[in-house]
Amino acid sequence: MTQFSEQPASFTQDRGFRSELNAEEEAAISTAREILFRHISRNPVLTSWAAVVDYCSFSVRGDVERFHVLYLDRKNRLISDERMGVGTVDHVPVYPREVIKRALILGASALILVHNHPSGDPTPSEADLAMTKEVQKGCRFLGLTLHDHIIVGAGHEVSLRGLGKM
């Protein structure tokens, strides 16, 4: 069964100030997330890079770092979008063992790591690269596929696979 693990969040606007959302706007965001989730659940995630990126940027955006893992089945359909951590403005703790453990519990075949940089700059840090390498080693050992690690910034995203870092 496909599932979400996070409630809707208020978004930080590109101009750098926080915009409080009223109840109607929060409900609209919740509805939009559910529609997007149903669309991705019925369609293989990796057939459209744009759909993956849109989903990722929508699901992790916020004023603090959020780390999610998209767990996929053998046909690259979304099993679960799991929020694995919420941090501060410039750090979120990630435990590779827990990421892989959850994949095994869910019976996932593949993963996509996703997190945001609230600063707006999606350039990967050394810590981002090191953590990705650790998850990649564990996945390789257990026969799981790590498709990518996507970092979401303000208005654009970076793929570690696209950068040749995986």
pTM of structure: 0.73
pLDDT for 71-107, tens place per residue? Answer: 999 988 888 889 998 878 788 889 999 999 999 999 9
CA distance 104 to 56: 22
pLDDT for 15-41, tens place per residue? Answer: 444 557 788 888 888 888 788 777 766
CB 156 within 8 A of CB 122: yes
pLDDT for 40-69, tens place per residue? Answer: 666 555 567 788 888 888 888 888 889 999
Higher pLDDT, 10 or 152: 152
Provide the β-strand partners of residue 3.
80
Query: What values do phi and psi take at 144, rounded to 5?
Result: -95, 155
Residue 73 DSSP label: -
